[in-house]
Amino acid sequence: MTPSFPKCRLRIVLAPGVAFGPGKADLLQGLAETGSIRAAGSRLGMSYKRAWNLVGALNRDFAEPLVTTEKGGAGGGGGARLTPLGHELLERFRRIEAVMLEAGGADLSVLQGAVKSPLDGAGEEK
Amino acid sequence: MTPSFPKCRLRIVLAPGVAFGPGKADLLQGLAETGSIRAAGSRLGMSYKRAWNLVGALNRDFAEPLVTTEKGGAGGGGGARLTPLGHELLERFRRIEAVMLEAGGADLSVLQGAVKSPLDGAGEEK
């Protein structure tokens, strides 16, 4: 996957100690698409343990679980499915990201255009 | 300062290795308001060294400097002023944040409303 720029990372602190950001969003999306905690984590370069911990945090921090899990499952690494609330929160997070890119597009372009091009810094210490 | 929630943290990766996020934006704003790297940094709980390093990164990563510095200066900790480009980029970053909060407001409220209230988790291990 070739990264495209600018890339906006949105992190929402919903309450003290409760944040929802790109890592959790990408993990939820991966779970929805693969049905497996191991597969979703590995796609993000995340250890199985870290993916499990994030799922635990998501289920602990919200009033209802965002993910249902079962031992074994697809890929033998713990099956997982998003609950309706999990689907809804992921969709809303993606919508905020999209709105930001669309409405902030002109400002983003100016910020990006102000970055020094690699040639400007040729021979210069970084 | 009482934090209000939800709090959105926007981090923009403008090019490989060049990011602009809340830390740099708050530092630029502090520099504009205090004229001192030490004062701007300390307001953010940032060491003088870290504030200097961020200023250095900002000036290195953009085609023109965002900050002009002088030894000594206000507070004896190194005077600093934003250049016109520094002011412009800060203003545009704040505008993207504002647009995101305004256009994404309804989605943010739903995300926030789904968080478990402190009472739900009473007596539960965190």
Q: What is the pLDDT of residues A76-113, one digit of tens each?
A: 556 899 999 999 999 999 999 898 888 888 999 999 99
Query: Identity (one letter) of the amino acid at A63?
Result: A
Q: What is the pLDDT of residues B7-60, one digit of tens each?
A: 888 889 888 888 999 999 999 999 999 999 999 999 999 999 999 999 999 999
pLDDT at A7: 82
Q: Give the span between the Cα atoms of B32 and A72, in whole angstroms.
A: 56
Q: Give the span between the Cα atoms of A19 and B9, in whole angstroms.
A: 10
Q: What is the DSSP letter of B124?
A: -
In our burial notation (b when 16+ CB lie closer than 10 A, e otherwise), range A10-48 reads bbbbbbeebbbbbbbbbbbbbbbebbbbbbbbbbbebee
pTM: 0.77
Q: For residue B123, how far is the Cα from the chain centroid?
A: 36
Centre a 10 Å sphere on the Cβ of residue A79 and count the other Cβ atoms it contains: 20
Contact between chains at B9 and A13 (C-beta distance less than 8 A): yes
Closest CB to A14 among B18, B115, B120: B115
Which chain B residues are Cβ-neighbours of A5 within 8 angstroms?
A: 13-16
Angle between helix A22-34 and helix A48-61 axes, rounded to 10 deg: 100
pLDDT at A78: 61
Q: Give the span between the Cα atoms of A24 and A11, in whole angstroms.
A: 10
pLDDT > 50? residue A126: no
Q: For residue A7, how far is the Cα from the chain centroid?
A: 12
Q: Which of A38, A90, A36 is nearest to A62 (CA)?
A: A90
Summarize chain A as % helix, strand, coil (round to 5): 50, 20, 30
Which chain A residue has its CA at the smallest distance from B7's CA?
A: A13
Closest CB to A116 among B61, B95, B104: B61
Q: CB contact, 8 Å: B98 with chain A?
A: no
Q: Give the span between the Cα atoms of A80 and A32, in whole angstroms.
A: 8
ipTM, two decimals:
0.78
Cβ atoms of A80 and A37 closer than 8 Å? yes
Query: Identity (one letter) of the amino acid at A25?
Result: A
Q: What is the mean pLDDT of chain B?
A: 86
